[in-house]
Amino acid sequence: MVKPLSSPLAEELVQLSREIHADPELAYQERRAAARIAALLQRHGHEVQMGIGGLETAFRARVGPPGPSVAFIAEYDALAGVGHGCGHNLIAMTNVGAFLHAASAGAADVALELIGTPAEETGGGKIDLLNAGAFTDVAFVLSTHPAAQARWGVSGTGLGIIGKRVVYQGAASHAGSSPERGRNALNGVIRLFVGIDGWRQHLPSESRVHGIITHGGDAVNVVPARAEAKIDLRAKDTATLEGMVATFTDVAQGAALETGTSVQITTYLPMYLPVAANTGLGDVVADELRRRGVDPERGFLVTASTDLGNVSQRIPTDWIRFPVTERPIAGHSDAMREASASDLAHRNALLVVEALGAAARRVATDASLRRSIQDGAKMSDRAQVTA
């Protein structure tokens, strides 16, 4: 039985959230955040294995018998230029808290563990950890995410994403006295963006293409010989995403032909697969929220992306999305950053800690429930293959 969250632990968790929020760190560099989390876990008597999967800022804490586990997934990286405008301080707080809360209730049939995963915003830390075998013994995954949409949700899906870097090469020349001798690489990038704008109207309504110019030249009076952009492609299924990559390649090469330049296309962000929520696991999580007065929306599409999707495609996974404001705001924004440190956000986060910890205990102590969730996951896999 999981008892209500103690006041001292609640205070420690809010302090952890505020400290991570006030000290943002980018992908693979989250040393202070990871150290703060490890210190809190150690104060509560847990050993912390740092550097798992060959990633300096990844970690694991585990209690229970060898073999399968129910794992909570923490994130703690920030956005360049915005800080914690995605609220990963709250993802850290809720999953660390849920692990401590669930572990305090004593022995279970299977282990409970907390896995700290860096570089969600860019890099794909969970993909690195999957490839390194860090999830080998994980049988069920639970996690969280703050919601800018001001609503509660469980079993949400999400778009897959892949990030492309394009580099156009032309020829430099004096932009005033001999522009005809140059080949403008920036024009190639501009033509690429124009081509994308024309392509968008033919995409499915939930697909996304967006990007930035990361290098446009070195001097105003020199025809740019090199220009670079980063473009993200998103879709709700892998087949659509792969088709978008093929079309994007054609558009990029067409822009090079138009401008007499050459183009090189590489992947800067590995493919984050669409989130495949396990509704059986979500039923347990939603029930625990309802016991605490929250009736979450189920099965909605989140038109953002996360490397939790790659985990969910291999392991039964579900997550809670919880509001940080009373009205919808823009994610990845200054407003979202400020909301992620608000009293409302922390009150809801503490409720999530209780619900997620209780859900994990139910899964970890009920063999028939575990079989039901796993059987449902197998049926879903077979349906996808048939489709």
CATH label of the domain that carries residue 250: 3.30.70.360
Q: How far apart are the first and last CA of the chain?
A: 41
Question: Which residue, among 131, 132, 90, 93, has the nearest Cα to 114 in the 3D structure?
Answer: 93
**Residues 348 and 202 occupy one common structural domain:** no
- Identify whether 329 is part of a domain: yes
pLDDT digit string (tens) for 23-46? 999 999 999 999 999 999 999 999
DSSP state of 53: G
- Tell me how far apart the alpha carbons of residues 97 and 68 are, in angstroms, rounded to a whole number: 21
pLDDT score of 380: 62
**Residues 145 and 287 occupy one common structural domain:** yes
pLDDT digit string (tens) for 226-268? 999 999 999 999 999 999 999 999 999 999 999 999 999 999 9
- Identify whether 342 is part of a domain: yes
**Residues 19 and 148 occupy one common structural domain:** yes
Paired tokens of 295: 């009736």
Residue 329, φ and ψ in degrees, nearest 5: -135, 175
- Identify whether 263 is part of a domain: yes
- Identify whether 2 is part of a domain: no
Contact of 266 with 228, CB cutoff 8 Å: no
pLDDT score of 387: 40
**Residues 12 and 136 occupy one common structural domain:** yes
Task: Please determine, for residue 2, whether its predicted confidence score (pLDDT) is greater than 80.
Answer: no
**Residues 69 and 31 occupy one common structural domain:** yes
* Residue where a domain stops, chosen among 272, 303, 319: 272
Question: Which residue, among 144, 148, 36, 34, has the nearest Cα to 82 in the 3D structure?
Answer: 148
pLDDT digit string (tens) for 308-318? 999 999 999 99
- Identify whether 76 is part of a domain: yes
Counting Cα atoms < 13 Å in the Cβ hemisphere of 64 gives 28
- Tell me how far apart the alpha carbons of residues 42 and 345 are, in angstroms, rounded to a whole number: 25
Angle between helices 238-259 and 185-200 (to 10 degrees): 140
pLDDT score of 381: 59
**Residues 289 and 149 occupy one common structural domain:** yes
When divided into structural domains, the chain yields a total of 2
Local confidence band at 382 (pLDDT 50, 70, 90 cut-offs): very low
pLDDT digit string (tens) for 98-122? 999 999 998 899 999 999 999 999 9
Give the chain's mean pLDDT.
Answer: 96
Contact of 322 with 152, CB cutoff 8 Å: yes
Question: Which residue, among 354, 318, 298, 340, has the nearest Cα to 141 in the 3D structure?
Answer: 318
**Residues 322 and 195 occupy one common structural domain:** no
Local confidence band at 337 (pLDDT 50, 70, 90 cut-offs): very high
CA angle 152, 2, 362 (to 5 degrees): 70
**Residues 60 and 198 occupy one common structural domain:** no
Burial 295-313 (b: 16+ CB within 10 A, else e): ebeeebebebbbbbbbbbb
pLDDT digit string (tens) for 76-98? 999 999 999 999 999 999 999 99
- Identify whether 1 is part of a domain: no
* Residue where a domain stops, chosen among 240, 272, 304: 272
**Residues 231 and 292 occupy one common structural domain:** no
Residue 82 identity (one-letter amino acid): V
The answer to pTM > 0.75 is yes
Question: Which residue, among 222, 233, 232, 211, has the nearest Cα to 186 in the 3D structure?
Answer: 222
By 3-state DSSP, what share of the chain in percent is helix, strand and coil, each rounded to 5? 40, 25, 35
Neighbours of 19 (CB within 10 A): 16
pLDDT score of 383: 47
pLDDT score of 7: 83
Average pLDDT of span 170-191? 98
Task: Please determine, for residue 384, whether its predicted confidence score (pLDDT) is greater than 60.
Answer: no
Determine the structural domain holding residue 75 and report its residue range.
7-157+274-386
**Residues 58 and 142 occupy one common structural domain:** yes
CATH label of the domain that carries residue 284: 3.40.630.10
- Identify whether 252 is part of a domain: yes
Q: How far is CA 342 from CA 9, 88, 94, 337, in A?
A: 18, 14, 15, 9
**Residues 150 and 175 occupy one common structural domain:** no
pLDDT score of 386: 37
- Tell me how far apart the alpha carbons of residues 279 and 257 are, in angstroms, rounded to a whole number: 48
